[in-house]
Structure 1
Amino acid sequence: MKKLIIPLFLMISGSIFSQVAIGASPENTNRWTFGGGIGFGFGSNSYFNLSAAPRVGYRLTDDLEGGVLGSISWQKSNAYSSTMLGVGPFLNYYIARTFFISANYQHYFINYKDKIYDFKANENEDALYLGGGYMQRIGTNSYMQIGAMYNVFWKENESVFSSGFVPSVGFVVGL
């Protein structure tokens, strides 16, 4: 199954982004931007994670963008399963279309089930991510963003997250 999912994911991603790059116009007068990221992971104890983070933005100026970001994540292993849904605003500042500085607030709704102790929980958690990164052009108005964020609200032993640090890879169309 793992051997089938990874090549399928790469083929779908490649075809989506090649169509975006081909259909993009040299002069982008539309101020709306779209993008996000998807991810998956495998691990020990039959661990599997699937996540998606779509975003819709609006270019306030040529270098400043604001919008709404959502996220959903499903995790499952032999010991537990969880579903996490997040939503909130973001603000990005672009430096010469090569680097970006970003801030985003997320409110998370978390549903957790421990299979070993037969424990269930529904929790909420807030996060304020600050960070930035590098942008690589992949089409006329399309970019891949690689960066890192830190949740300034994160506190050890009080958060459902294991760390405040979050690496990120995403795509944006419309810049």
Structure 2
Amino acid sequence: MRKIIIPLMLMFSISIFSQVSVGTPSVAESNRWTFGGGIGLGFGSNSAFSLQAAPRVGYRLTEDLEAGVIGSVSWQTSNYYRSTMFGVGPFANYYFARSFYVGANLQHYFINYHDKYYDYKDNREETALYLGGGYMQRIGGNSFMQLGLMYNVLWKENSSIFSSGLVPNIGFVVGL
């Protein structure tokens, strides 16, 4: 099932964002709004696996600085637990040379958690502050694919729902 979901999400994202980018250059230059999204994939100890989808809306404050709101839906599983998370929060990205970016993303998660070992269920909340950056590749017009690596600086090994603080991601943005 996982082998099917990830490629389908990638194809769906590329299809949507490549269609959105069609337009005249004068419209793109005057519009400061950006739209996009991403998917994330994480691995950890004890067969931990996570998949995340994160739609986003941003506004270019300057040619190189963007801020906005990002939402997320995440599914995680391991040998010992399973969880579903919904998150929302602000983000900021700084772009340089139109090939690289650094960013910050604060997410507040609402978590439905099931401990498989003790058959314990819980609903809780957790905040994550992701810092990182990556490479951007133009995919047409004012559309870019972002390949990056983020780290949750609030992650603590024994108290966090997350199996690791490190999160590789792939994202798409239109409007830069």
Classify the TM-score, shorter chain. 0.7 to 0.9
Moved more, 1-10 or 61-70: 1-10
SS at the partner of 2:74? strand
Is contact 1:25-1:141 (8 Å) kept? no
Question: 2:12 aligns to what?
Answer: 12
Post-superposition offset of 1:3: 7.0
Query: Where does the alignment leave 5 or more consecutive residues of structure 1 unmatched?
Result: 42-46
Matched, 1:82 2:57: no
Question: 1:132 aligns to what?
Answer: 133
SS at the partner of 1:15? helix
Matched to 1:16, the amino acid is I
SS at the partner of 2:12? helix
Whole-Å separation in 2 of the counterparts to 1:85 and 1:37: 15
TM-score (norm 2): 0.83
Per-residue CA deviation, residues 98-133 of structure 1 (Å, 9 max, x unaligned), is 100101111111111234432101111111111111
Whole-Å separation in 1 of the counterparts to 2:132 and 2:7: 31
Question: 1:174 aligns to what?
Answer: 175
SS at the partner of 2:140? coil
Query: Where does the alignment leave 5 or more consecutive residues of structure 2 unmatched?
Result: 43-47
CA change 1:119–1:2 in 2 (3 A) is: closer
Count of matched residue positions in the alignment of Structure 1 and Structure 2: 172
Whole-Å separation in 2 of the counterparts to 1:56 and 1:18: 16
Question: 2:74 aligns to what?
Answer: 73
Matched to 1:156, the amino acid is E
TM-score (norm 1): 0.83
Per-residue CA deviation, residues 139-173 of structure 1 (Å, 9 max, x unaligned), is 10100001111111111111111111111110001
Aligned Cα RMSD in Å? 2.7
Per-residue CA deviation, residues 15-52 of structure 1 (Å, 9 max, x unaligned), is 3344234x1332311110000113679xxxxx985531
Is contact 2:77-2:83 (8 Å) kept? yes
Moved more, 48-57 or 105-114: 48-57
Whole-Å separation in 2 of the counterparts to 1:55 and 1:152: 21
Matched to 2:64, the amino acid is D
SS at the partner of 1:121? strand
Whole-Å separation in 2 of the counterparts to 1:85 and 1:115: 20
Whole-Å separation in 2 of the counterparts to 1:162 and 1:143: 30
CA change 1:114–1:88 in 2 (3 A) is: same
CA change 1:71–1:135 in 2 (3 A) is: same
Identity across the alignment (%): 72
Superposition pairs of residues 69-148 of structure 1, within 5 angstroms: 69-75=70-76, 80-148=81-149
Post-superposition offset of 1:61: 0.6
Matched, 1:35 2:15: no
CA change 1:74–1:34 in 2 (3 A) is: same
Whole-Å separation in 2 of the counterparts to 1:127 and 1:5: 25
* Larger RCO of the pair (alpha carbons < 8 Å, separation 6+): 2
